[in-house]
A and B are shown apart, each in its own frame.
Chain A
């Protein structure tokens, strides 16, 4: 009996590691290059949060470098490649060239850039589909608006910003083809006063819903909407608490989860080179209602938004976006 148990144990022990002999012993190694300090409470901080989540979830060995000069982009990537890292992130479109060069030299490392379009055998970008959530915001605006008109305030007219407005307009016009969306760009992302004035002018022009893509200057949009008690939407983060009396919902992008999502694919050796479109289906993009104001919305609107969200998640509905 005892001998049998020992033999059995030996058998199990002998079998166990042979399936993935290296995986069991080898640590999953992940590196991250950020263009700035990870204490910035913004773009770089959320990337680092993603890296820490990867460490926690996969027990990965992590490494991070704040690359201050462009010369360090390539140096950082090459260093991760030379040290046999499984995965290296470059947090921004500006890392694409460096990723392609390092990728050609170190075939065993996967290089991922946050946004971008460069794809090679072991290089891919992850691109976020915030448009899926802004499409839903457009539906809410069109169904709840009394004037048939909504306004959008942008910072700088970047393709990524225009794209979210295209989706917003498409969502609204899917409800009411005659629904009008007025666009204003302030030309920067930090002038709160300009964003506030732009918002007031939209409200004066009869817009009774406001959506913004003005980053920091978005606070000026919320100020104006609070002054005039006009409902509006938050973007990128859950901004509902910034003006809880007027922000009806936010289009939210969960960057740390995106890092974990891509890391899981690489760890499970499922990586295929292509643009990784990350949206609602992957749990990266979501629509977050402001619970305080949700009751003021017609139940049919909520139901409609839920229905369309399911279509987007299942892939039955492709949300229009800018061509870039």
Chain B
């Protein structure tokens, strides 16, 4: 209950601070808020924009949440998103299902590299996953400039994929994954072991959990979701790969997961909140020339507020 209150408080704090910051740019806070709201959910057009951006945020958010629940700092959703997109592109000729499966497998494999480095060399995931992001980014850069470049070889991008995914299809997949994550975490033994590992790995080991294998499975699930996000983005939105394909969805997923308090269903609300914030911020910039950075600003406020609230809670301050 307190966690939900903290999340709501952080979201409200972000919106209020955004509105107040409008004063600095010479805009009335009320006008700014109404643009933000109408630009994100005020029309079917805006709503579509919000949904399309919420889907990758939801999946990367779930990815981060599951890893964090297992006590692993998987900062690598961005890289897993990219390799997911790459694998999906390569498997696109085999149809929709195979290409989405390929994106999940690729994302999982990419995340498992970090786990392997943990077991072999005790390398912390927070470092290895972030470095793997750069490796993924450059792998994509090389691919679109070289082997996967469009047939005309004019621009650093691939040709468009032949298959595509409708927005409603995207929604169905993302919501199923969201519910499945909740089921996994709270209704299965696997989820119990996963959470126990994250809560206290030593106690979990005493209770008979094979901690390393548990962490590796959590990383694989986490990476699979981020990879799937990349596949869905490719088939549903971009239809081709280029260097800026991931566009920070992996990193934003961290904010989404934190605001969602690492709970799959709350992560859904959190993803829609950030999707709406980004879409509204776009309209804010088009209509009032306020920098699109307000969306990033909102993310930062949310995270800082949550950190503030959690440290108060730890010190026993209500």
Contact residues of A with B, CB < 8 Å?
31, 35, 37, 63-72, 75-76, 78-80, 82, 93-94, 97, 115-117, 156, 158-159, 324
Q: Does B287 contact A (CB under 8 A)?
A: yes
Report yes or no: B292 in contact with A70, Cβ–Cβ below 8 A: no
CB pairs A–B below 8 angstroms (10 shown): A65-B285, A65-B286, A66-B291, A68-B292, A70-B244, A72-B53, A76-B286, A93-B154, A97-B239, A116-B155
Name the distance in Å between B45's Cβ and chain A's nearest Cβ: 7
- Min CB distance, B312 to chain A, in Å? 32
Contact B282 A72 (CB under 8 A): yes
| B160 neighbours in A (Cβ, 8 Å) | 97
B282 near A70: Cβ-Cβ < 8 Å: no
Expressed in whole angstroms, the Cα–Cα distance for A82 and B42 within the complex equals 14
CA distance A276 to B52 in the complex (A): 33
- What 0/1 pattern do residues 151 to 178 of B give for CB contact below 8 A with A? 0111111001000000000000000000
Cα A63 to Cα B152 in complex, Å, equals 33
Contacts of B53 in A (CB 8 A): 69, 71-72
Q: Which residues of B contact A94 (CB under 8 A)?
A: 155, 157, 242, 244
Complexed CA–CA distance, A82 and B48 (Å): 14
Write out the residue numbers on chain B whose beta carbons fall within 8 Å of the beta carbon of A117.
152, 154
Asked if residues B245 and A75 are in contact (CB atoms below 8 Å), the reply is no
Query: Which of B153, B238, B282 is in CB contact (< 8 Å) with A324?
Result: B153
- Rank and list the top 7 A-B pairs by shortest CB-CB distance, nearest first: A69-B247, A66-B292, A93-B155, A70-B238, A324-B154, A75-B49, A71-B52
Tell me the B residues contacting A by CB distance below 8 Å.
45, 49, 52-53, 145, 152-157, 160, 233, 237-240, 242, 244-245, 247-249, 278-279, 282-283, 285-287, 289, 291-293, 295
Q: Min CB distance, B219 to chain A, in Å?
A: 25
A71 in complex: contacting residue of B45, B145, B237, B242, CB < 8 Å: B237
Q: How far is B239's CA from A82's CA once the two chains are assembled, in angstroms?
A: 24
Complex interface: chain A residues within 8 A of B295 (CB):
68
- A70-B244, A97-B239 known; A31+B286 contact, CB < 8 A: yes
Cα A158 to Cα B160 in complex, Å, equals 20
Residues of the B chain whose Cβ atoms lie less than 8 Å from the Cβ of A70: 233, 237-238, 244-245, 247
Query: Most chain-B Cβ atoms within 10 A of its Cβ — which of A65, A68, A324?
Result: A68
CB-CB < 8 A to B249: which residues of A? 69
Inside 8 A of B238's CB, which chain A residues have their CB?
70
In the bound complex, residues from chain B placing their C-beta under 8 Å from that of A65 are 282, 285-286, 292
In the complex, what residues of A have CB within 8 A of residue B278's CB?
Answer: 68-69, 72
Given known contacts A68-B248, A94-B242, A324-B154, is B282 in contact with A63 (CB within 8 Å)?
A: no
Indicate which residue in A63, A115, A158 contacts B286 across the interface (CB closer than 8 Å).
A63
- Closest Cβ of chain B: how far from A122's Cβ, in Å? 19
Decide if B244 touches A35 in the complex (CB within 8 Å).
yes
Which residues of chain A come closer than 8 Å to B156, judged between CB atoms? Answer: 158
In the docked arrangement, what's the CA distance between A37 and B244, Å? 14
Q: A93-B157, A94-B244, A156-B145 are in contact. Are A71 and B49 (CB under 8 A)?
A: yes
What distance in Å separates the Cβ of B241 from its nearest Cβ neighbour in chain A? 10
- In the assembled complex, the CB of B90 is this many whole angstroms from the nearest CB of chain A, namely 19
Known: A75-B49, A117-B154, A156-B145. A69 touches B248 (CB 8 A): yes
Find chain B residues with CB under 8 A from A79 CB.
45, 282-283, 286
Contact B244 A66 (CB under 8 A): no
* Cα A67 to Cα B279 with chains together (Å): 10
Task: Name the A residues within 8 Å of B289 (CB-CB).
Answer: 63-64
A37 CA to B238 CA in the complex, in Å?
A: 21
Query: A303 → chain B, closest Cβ, in Å?
Result: 37
A66 touches B285 (CB 8 A): yes
CB distance from A44 to the nearest CB of B (A): 12
The distance in angstroms between the C-alpha atoms of A72 and B279, with both chains bound, is: 8
Selected contact of B279 from candidates A66, A75, A82, A116, CB within 8 Å: A75
Q: Smallest distance from the beta carbon of A82 to chain B beta carbons, Å?
A: 7
* B285 A64 Cβ-Cβ under 8 A: yes
Assuming the contacts A35-B244, A94-B157, asked whether A76 and B282 have C-beta atoms less than 8 A apart, the reply is yes
